Amino acid sequence: MRSLVLALTLPAVCLCLQADTTGRISGNVVSKDGKPLPGSKINLKRLDINWSKDLIADKGGKFMQVGLEPKEFTMTVTAEGYVTYSETIKIPLGEVLVKNITLLTPTETRAQNVASGKVQAPPDDPGATLNVEGRDVFNQAIPLYNEGKFAQAIPLVEKAYKTLLEAKGKLKDEKDIAELTPELQKIERVLGICLSQGGVKKEEGEPYLLKALERNPKDERVIAGLIETSKAKADKVAEEKYAGMLEALQGPNPSTSYNKGVEAFNAGHPKEAKTHWLKTLEISPTFADAHYMLAMVEFGENNLKGTKQHLQKYLEIAPAGKNAETAKEMLKDPSLKNIK
């Protein structure tokens, strides 16, 4: 019995010994005003061997990593629109190292350095001042853009673009002008996408998107935006052109064909809609809603056998789908129930 007790207690002892050979790190990443910076990247790199790992801060800006050896690491924290933070840390044995990181924007960093006497205040330069202001405004828009809140991001992106265009005309340093050009191109792209997805007049995004497409013909987000601007202009030729470009990059998209079918059906063109939905099923045979809509078209054409087949297929794929009850009721009707 004593041998058995000893055997049963050994694993727990081993676990305790193992836990004592490692440490962990946790903390959060915030901005100067204390707001969390989700999506921030925390890189941990061993100093003694070639090993590194990236951690991503969650929606609350928090991060954690366990099982780290008690060694020295370089910790680097980055986030879009903020100055990179880096320091050397030592992971304690069997304990938690808590690191709460505050990232600063370039403007905040410069102000901090001036206040501490590390650097002298820059000379009065209207172009340089506008350059800093524009970049800071764009940094404020980035989280909204990343979260898909395009309508909210538009005023900030527009302001950043106009401010930096003005800055480019007033900057005196050729190096600053050269560095500003790619930033303006990036903002053009973001502005075009925001306008095409969340603007009151989506077609206003087209000029910016066309410039971005010229720079990168394989930019899928830009092409998707141009599809939206074409729809807003009711330009079917352009819409088909960009849809073809996107399909060439992504491969056939069943949702695209299905949505085209819905548009045709709502416009009173069931035969055209039927063609799109059949194409949808060629790409994705288990696209349940395409079967349901085809059933509606077949029913309208009094093709009861086709109606029944598509309703049954819909229920087979999506027994609890949004149209399941309607499909079941239709199949109970004698006109369909008796169809073989």
Let me know if residue 12 belongs to a domain. Answer: no
220 shares its domain with 135: yes
Q: What is the pLDDT of residue 5?
A: 41
- Same-domain check for residues 130 and 226: yes
Residues 152 and 268 in one domain: no
> Which residue, of 250, 267, 293, is where some domain finishes?
250
Tell me, yes or no, whether 150 and 229 share the same domain: yes
**Both 204 and 192 in a single domain?**
yes
Q: Helical H runs in the chain?
A: 2-19, 106-116, 126-146, 150-170, 174-198, 206-215, 220-232, 236-250, 254-266, 270-283, 288-300, 304-317, 324-332, 334-337
Residue 312 resides in a domain: yes
Is the distance from CB of 277 to CB of 257 less than 8 angstroms? yes
**Would you state the pLDDT for residue 209?**
97
Residue 10 in domain: no
Q: Domain range holding 312?
A: 254-337
In the chain (340 residues long), the average pLDDT of successive 10-residue segments reads: 41 45 93 93 94 94 94 93 90 93 86 66 70 87 88 94 92 85 94 95 96 95 95 93 91 88 92 94 93 94 93 94 93 83
Confidence at residue 223, expressed as pLDDT on a 0 to 100 scale: 95
Number of domains comprising the chain: 3
pLDDT of res. 29? 96
Closest by CA to 63, choosing from 105, 24, 91, is: 24
Check which CATH number belongs to the domain holding 27 and give it: 2.60.40.10
Classify residue 327: in a domain, yes or no. Answer: yes
pTM for the complete prediction? 0.55
Give the pLDDT confidence score for residue 41 in this predicted structure. Answer: 95
Instruction: Single out the residue in 216, 250, 284 at which a domain terminates.
Output: 250
* Boundary of a domain, candidates 235, 250, 265: 250
- CATH number of the domain enclosing 139: 1.25.40.10
The whole-number pLDDT of residue 122 equals 54
Structure confidence at residue 13 (pLDDT):
40
